[in-house]
Amino acid sequence: MTADYPSLNHGDRRGQRPELIVLHYTGMADAAAARARLCDSGAEVSAHWLICETGGTEALVPETRRAWHAGAGAWQGRGDVNSRSIGVEIANPGDRPFTAQQMDALTELLRGIMSRWHIGPASVIAHSDLAPGRKIDPGPRFDWQRLAHEGLALWPADGPDMPLASSLDAIGYPACSATERLSAFRLRFRPWANGSETVADRRRAAGAALLYQENAQPCPPIST
């Protein structure tokens, strides 16, 4: 694990503090290519952490600073996710499983971040969660159930057959088309599901809504 913070792509948190952790895949050929881009001042993108294919963990931006990883989007009614989050990039082109070494490194990293900033498992989210229709990472191959088993994310049991839209509102998905929200929800909680909305979608979403309500954390006040 390094701590020299090689990326200059960051700024002030605009009065906010980290209350979310956003997980990404890099979508690039390898960690070296991703590192080069995340540290390129012309690219105007960055993340706080990069996890390499073999599990090496690199600190690119101080956690106290605002990295540029989330882009446009919102979660649980709160925008400017960059100011409110810590971004973790995992080296993966998006077409293959994450390595066991990466998942081991991620669990260790998450425990540290969550302890430092008092962030609960309900606040560990996917890039696709906050940006439906725009982003799909970390994608359907990511092992959310393992993180949940270790207390580092949430994974629901099925609930009753309830209206999908109200459940997705309760979980925290931002307003957008019904198709985009369903796709984002499936990427996270029903990977590889496709087609029109089903009872299985509604039951899983209802279970997730209840779980998120039970694990809700009070949000710090929004600075004006």
pLDDT digits (tens, 9 = 90+) for 49-79: 999 999 999 999 999 999 999 999 999 999 9
- pLDDT (0 to 100) of residue 187: 98
- pLDDT (0 to 100) of residue 222: 40
- DSSP characters over the chain: -B-S-----EE--TT----EEEEEE--SSSHHHHHHHHT-TTT----SEEE-TTS-EEE-S-TTSEES-S-S--BTTB--GGGGEEEEEE---SSSPPPHHHHHHHHHHHHHHHHHHT--GGGEEEHHHHSTTT--TT-TTS-HHHHHHTTSS--PPP-----HHHHHHHHTPPS--HHHHHHHHHHHHSTT--SS--HHHHHHHHHHHHHHHHT--PPPPPP-
**Stretch 38-52: mean pLDDT:** 97
pTM over 0.85: yes
Q: Each residue of 108-121: pLDDT tens digit?
A: 999 999 999 999 99
pLDDT band at 216 (very low <50, low <70, confident <90, very high): confident
pLDDT band at 127 (very low <50, low <70, confident <90, very high): very high
- pLDDT (0 to 100) of residue 224: 29
Q: Active-site residue numbers?
A: 89
Higher-scoring residue by pLDDT: 192, 221: 192
pLDDT band at 134 (very low <50, low <70, confident <90, very high): very high
Q: Each residue of 143-192: pLDDT tens digit?
A: 999 999 999 999 999 999 999 999 999 999 999 999 999 999 999 999 99
**Stretch 77-100: mean pLDDT:** 97
Q: Each residue of 19-37: pLDDT tens digit?
A: 999 999 999 999 999 999 9
- pLDDT (0 to 100) of residue 219: 54
